[in-house]
Structure 1
Amino acid sequence: MTSRTGLPTVGGVVTSSSGSGALSVEVTVRGDVSPGAVDYARSKVAHVARYAHEPVLGAHVVLTVAPDPAVERHARAEASLDVNGTLLRAHALASDMLSAVDLLEARLQRNVAQHDDRARTRHRWIGVATGHEWRHGDLPSRREDHYPRRPEEREVVRRKTFALEPMTPDEAAFDMDLLGHTFYLFTDLQTGREAVVFRDGEGGFATQGEQVPYSATTLVETAASAPTLTEPEAIDRLNLSGEPFLFHLDPDTRRGRVLYLRYDGHYGLITAAGR
């Protein structure tokens, strides 16, 4: 069976691969994606792969067009590069597939450059420190995520307010993964309300916030709605849960915020800039 792209399809998902030199770029298509967009994405990802300073062992691209054209930025392009065993990923949404691929290329190229920079730094500085010496790039010793301070001694010592960029849960998950954060507070593109994305403990991502129906192709699962709590109530809830953070709503403003446990055993609080 073939799709309108002219490529073989299994269960509505089109997969093709083509070699560019020694690199094979696999492309998976979901929805009505033109053959030209497939070729364009394959060439762009292969082009980025040539910039890597380490061997690129494989490349996979996923192109998705939402079935409802009224959905804003209904074209999604994703890519992953296996750079000598390290998986680099990028993701972009746009109103048309070619624009999404252009954004994908820029983000993937940035990730490749950042990976190369980290690799050079690691090779330059890696070593074994003696005594209390620490050098940038040393492998950290195993330690607790935070200082084991008793709950009655904890205080909110850091309050941060950010202007949050509107994005989808998938975009927030990719940004969180790139930054290496435990959680990521963002403004949901569909609701205009604060939400948080985090790892679900099973290798995937989950989001918490106002419950809205998203496309079935989303990569992020929906968790429970956020509780409405005062700051003292949020502190008590966080201590009882044993979790590293708690997303909740301010009872006065109804805005979402995150209370989290810092490395020093105290609390930090992240809120969205007013609007």
Structure 2
Amino acid sequence: MRFNIRGENLQVTDAIRKYIIKKVEKLDKYFDDSIHAEVQVKLKVYERNTKVEITIPLKTLLLRAEEQHENMYATIDLIIDKLERQVRKYKTKVNRKPRQEKAVRKNTANAIMIMEPEAETLAEENTDHIVRTKRFYLKPMDAEEAILQMNMLGHQFFVYTEAETSLTNIVYQRNDGKYAVIETE
């Protein structure tokens, strides 16, 4: 792993750097191969607390978590616990998936509720100012894996390439708690 540790309103000391590296390297035990990724760590200090954000982009998974606490070391411990939970949840779903594929093939109707895109009009749309552009690789996956990724990232929607059709789809969570897929043509 390569580490990019940045501090905002904070000088990153060797002690903090070593502590972060030691803790993040514990995640290696969950993977068969060593993690080959650039770990992005952002440390912020406010008047009464600290905030840590860690992002680890892997081939099959994007691990991301942030946490706030009064103590920097406690914040790091909390965020590592959060990342470990994400990895365990992902591994459980991946290992369970081959066993469930047989059942899903028989009855795909109960997997995910598919809706047509709803036409919504916004009162005053201000499209004159684009404040950020993101580019990312759309990994082929199924809708279940897309939902898992969306929930792990804490996002409201997730864009992905459907593995079977190679089309770009969007999955999101509805107000009633169920998931929906927007399919492109």
TM-score by length of 1: 0.39
Equivalent runs, 1:100-139 vs 2, <5 Å: 100-127=75-102, 129-130=105-106, 133-134=107-108
C-alpha separation in 2, matches of 1:76 and 1:57:
25
Q: Greater share of strand residues, 1 or 2?
A: 1
Residue 144 in 1 paired to residue 122 in 2? Answer: no
Which residue number in structure 1 is paired with residue 164 of structure 2? none
Name the residue aligned to 1:49. 28
Q: Which residue of 2 aligns with 1:216?
A: none
Moved over 4 A (4+): none
Q: Is 2:61 aligned against 1:78?
A: no
The reply to whether residue 60 of structure 1 matches residue 34 of structure 2 is no
CA shift, 1:29, in A, is 2.4
| Contact 1:28/1:63, CA 8 A, preserved across alignment | yes
When the two chains are superposed, the root-mean-square deviation of aligned CA atoms in Å is: 3.6
Q: Between the two proteins, what is the percent identity of the paired residues?
A: 17
The change in CA–CA distance for 1:135 and 1:115 in structure 2 (over 3 A counts) is: farther
Gaps of 5+ in 2: 119-149, 160-172, 179-185
Structure 1 pair 85/35, CA: closer, same or farther in 2 (3 Å)? same
| Alignment of structure 1 residues 138-177 onto 2, 5 Å | 143-144=114-115, 177=151
Mark the runs of 5 or more structure 1 residues left unpaired by the alignment: 1-22, 149-175, 183-198, 203-243, 246-259, 264-275
SS at match of 2:30: coil
Distance 1:122 1:55 in 2: 23
SS at structure 1 position matched to 2:80: helix
CA distance in 2, matches of 1:262, 1:108: 24
Quote how far apart the aligned CAs of 1:28 are: 2.5
- The structure whose RCO (Cα within 8 Å, separation 6+) is larger is 2
Q: By how many angstroms is 1:103 displaced?
A: 0.6
Q: Which has the larger radius of gyration?
A: 1
2:5, 2:42 within 8 Å by CA — same for their partners in 1?
yes
What is the alpha-carbon distance in structure 2 between the residues aligned to residue 29 and residue 179 of structure 1?
A: 22
For the 8 Å contact 2:2–2:38, the answer to whether it is kept is yes
How do 1:4-43 and structure 2 match up within 5 A? 23-32=1-10, 33-43=12-22
Q: TM-score, normalised by structure 2?
A: 0.55
